[in-house]
Amino acid sequence: MDYPYANHSIEQQSEFLRLTLALLSKQQIPPNPVNYRLSYDHVSGKSKELKTVLDDYFNDSGKLNQEMLWEIYQRFFIQDNQALQKIRDELRHVISNIQGEVKQSGEELGGFSSELSHFSEILDSSSTPQAMASAVQRMISGTQSALNSQNLFYSHMTELAEETESLRKELMQIKEESLTDALTGIANRRAFDIELQDSMTEAEDQHSALCLLLIDIDHFKKFNDTYGHLIGDKVLRFVAATLKRCVKGQDFAARYGGEEFAVILPNTSQVGAKVIAEQIRKAISAKELHDKAKNENYGKITASIGISEYRFNEQAGDLIKRSDEALYKAKDAGRNRVVFN
């Protein structure tokens, strides 16, 4: 694996260090390894996408916290490298075994082909019955040996095919886990980014409607501070489960970050999006949360929802920004409501 900053001189790295520390201090971000890596890549401009994401947070004062920083770090830097490297090594082993089996089988078939040629020469000549009988016996033995070799080859190839299928399933699991939010079990921000881009491309190609919902749990920080993070996590899982029930077909729900969720609605216009958003809002606020073991009632959870409809040739960031603006209008108007922008 190449060193990611190999093209930076000592002078450049020293300057990036100074800028990184200044950024951490200015934004009042704890200088731990995770935050340092994010800040260093931000000032060095190594990833334009990361810089854009962090700039959006920095420009939205009071919105950035350690949990969000960790989610951004996971999104850009954690790629299940060890698991993927293990599978790469195992696949190399499988390929090597297949090459060995093919080579060995080819050599044995090559030897059998020589015996066939020799037997053909005997048939073309005036050989004695004894010589022909001996040649026939060798042919029978050679045929049996070739048959056994092929059976062994097919057996080994079947085993290797099963091993390859097992590795394919492991890769699919890693892919699924890398696109799933560990806490809520729904899609994470990385999966959302991929799905939104694909949905926008499809909307362009088919000239179809597309809407985006951004959903924010009302007063979540206060709820977290009052009852603790464990109860806060239950609230996040409850909202995620509610989205699963409300989102059908091609619609796509994801945890966008912190207490925010997103829903992508392909082939859905403003009118349809408002209907779905209201269904989600009512479903979230319809149930009171309580802890049976502790006999505690936490009351109702409400959420504010911002909607925007995709405009052709629009960038993903602009669509998200308009949904975010609608979301803040919903909060400013009293929360627990849906606003379209």
Which uninterrupted H or E stretch holds 74? helix 66-77
The question of whether 195 is a catalytic residue gets the answer no
Torsion of CA 241, 243, 247, 250, to 10 degrees: -90
Classified as helix, coil or strand, 185 is coil
Do 341 and 325 form a contact (C-beta atoms < 8 A)?
Answer: yes
DSSP state of 225: H
Looking at 259, 288, 309, 314, which residue is catalytic? Answer: 259
Measure the CA angle with vertex 74, ends 70 and 77; round to 5°.
120
Torsion of CA 114, 117, 121, 123, to 10 degrees: 120
| Torsions phi, psi for 2 (to 5 deg) | -70, 145
Classified as helix, coil or strand, 211 is strand
* DSSP secondary structure letters along 273-298: HHHHHHHHHHHHHTSEEEETTTTEEE
CB atoms within 10 A of CB 234: 14
* DSSP secondary structure letters along 119-183: HHHHHHTT--HHHHHHHHHHHHHHHHHHHHHHHHHHHHHHHHHHHHHHHHHHHHHHHHHHTB-TT
Which uninterrupted H or E stretch holds 216? strand 210-217
* DSSP secondary structure letters along 95-114: HHHHHHHHHHHHHHHHHHHH
Measure the CA angle with vertex 232, ends 234 and 252; round to 5°.
60
Write out the catalytic residue numbers. 259
